Structure 1
Amino acid sequence: MASKPISNSKSPNGTNGTILYTPNQIPIPTYVRILDTTLRDGEQSPGAAMSCKEKLDIAHLLAKLRVDVIEAGFPSASNDDFMAVKMIAQEVGNDVDNDGHVPVIGGMCRCNEKDIAITWEAVKHAKRPRICTFLATSPIHMEYKLRKTKDQVLKIARETVKFARSLGCCDIQFGVEDATRSEKEFLYQVLGEVIKAGATTVVIPDTVGIAMPFEYGNLIADIKMNTPGIENVIIATHCHNDLGLATANTIEGARAGARQLEVTINGIGERAGNASLEEVVMALTCRGNDVLGGLHTGINTRHIIRTSKMVEEYSGMLLQPHKALVGANAFLHESGIHQVFDINTFATIFMKLFHCVFS
């Protein structure tokens, strides 16, 4: 059952070097959970369809990376997706490593009982199953997509979480779609209702990738300050890259108080993609202590390159040579000035990055 605390990865605060996983709490204030959605949002890239075996291979590598949460797919979308999520839950979701780490396995679903029940059937086989659902809250989405009033949206959100709870799932993630174009007071209201109903993580998506970093950080801070019961859940980011700001927005969200960051390998995803796991994780690894108050993740960065190459091969989404950290040119210099600089300044940030990613 998801309600039982489960041993997590190394920490000085736990017995025998471990801590207990509790869906809505993180005992170390500066620890940031990483949710990888390559197999769900990443696969929504045009032409990025992957087979069940390929998804399982990627999930195994994500576990080696020590990703905290794997959003394994959209089980109600097709029988193939259902089987892939179920297989990942059964295999990867029960593969406890030597340090006691096992990833949460989540499935995405719409806010209706049929989808939620299907998703639970797929993920419930994992040691740590999670139901991930979402509902639009912006005026334009409510009027033209949902065709619902605010009161109707509130009711659907509340009843969705209650139904997920009734199935026996105690790890429920609720996303307020198009949050960055939603009215803040309504956001506080919706989030307060789903928290009261039993949600354990609330996601604040920049669905159309329109936010500036300072705007997104302010939104997270405002939600943290004004939402009833927010101290009882984890706040999560989910940023799209339409303006090339997904990584910056994600880091700003973490700085403002988000403690779950949603990312994809190589930044793949719909349209211009999502926040990139390698960029977000390495930004925290290199600068977390300097300027981000000690924010850190549990990611094993030595598996980044291998995972990146597998996702590139399986998805068919080829990397540009200058892609940060994982592109072919990421650690190459042509300029003589830069070459001399690197030789004479071995302990630069470039060498730290190179060591973390390749060694």
Structure 2
Amino acid sequence: MHQDTPLFHDSAPDNPAQVYDLWLAHNNECATYGRESIDAKRSTSYRMIWQGWLKYLASLNEGKGCAWSSVDAVDVSNFLKSGLRRSKNLIPTNTAQRRYWRVLSRIYTFAHSKGWTAENPVLALATADVPAIEKPKGAILTLGQYKACFDCLPPLYGTATQARDHTMALLLLTTGITPQEVRTLCVQDLERDMATGKVTHVAITAQRSDTQRRRIAVDERLANALLFWLTQRHMFNSLQRVRPSKEEAPTTAGDRHPFTRLFVSQKSPEVTMGTLLHVCKQLILEACKKDHSDAPPRIGPQVIRNTVLTKWLNEGIGIHQVTLMAGLKNPKGLLHLGDHLNPEVRQHLAKSNFKDDEAPPILQPLAA
């Protein structure tokens, strides 16, 4: 592969470990195209790969080592196959090899542009040695199955358990929040009209990043279900055994007292993932039966979320807006839905599949 002549000829750092720090700083200075910079505190996996690479180079030539700036494609290929050597007999998965390849490619592209290397050894790899790109596909419901889900919900005014299952499923079907967000919702996350007591919004508390924090308006059907569920929640045995203690206002979802969880079970003051999976599986199977269609390859709450996000995108809601509504850090979190999107949406979404130090792909015009 042809490689460009370096634009600069700076002196390479004496300590190879500093190459990573300089690349990270450069990457964050040049973060463009609407992509976020890389938080140094959250880039430990990137640093670990670079450190593993340097450790591997130190073991070459019978322990004499090899300079990071003079390696070739063979060295890179052997490292990809051996990985970080956590176990001598463990062969890295294609996903891991692709991650190693990507990190080395980006760092050596930066180093070559500075004139620290004669060539980028990662670009010199033979095509067969480059780890294949993984294209994860998110399962979704058909439009008919999705509509049938609303008709197959457990009765709201049946038992307390049915009221809970109805409300959890309806929340997923209308808001597209994650399964974990359903489980960690607390009673205080429901915003209510002071005059009528009606639930108007659901506040999602950040669990890992600030992008997850959002305020979601609820429609009348969901508002009524939430309000009725609040009248049934106290009937569960798990809440009758222990009462919540007085605590300071929490800052994250994980800080909050478990007995304030919105959805509970008889044995635990919170709903397990197994319970949520069972509720969604039964609902989807009933909906597929009503729709006279085959169930998707995977069944669960994430499939419902995938369906809602896909529906929003295909209805014309902007990619950036859907990213915010879904609580995602960037549009890359929607790429697994690509096969289910309209061609126009899919093409625009392709622009998000690049790194901060890369230019976005040039899109071809759609066929008439």
Report the TM-score range of the alignment, normalised by the length of the smaller protein.
Answer: under 0.3
TM-score (norm 2): 0.24
TM-score (norm 1): 0.25
Please tell me whether Structure 1 or Structure 2 has the larger radius of gyration of its CA atoms: 2
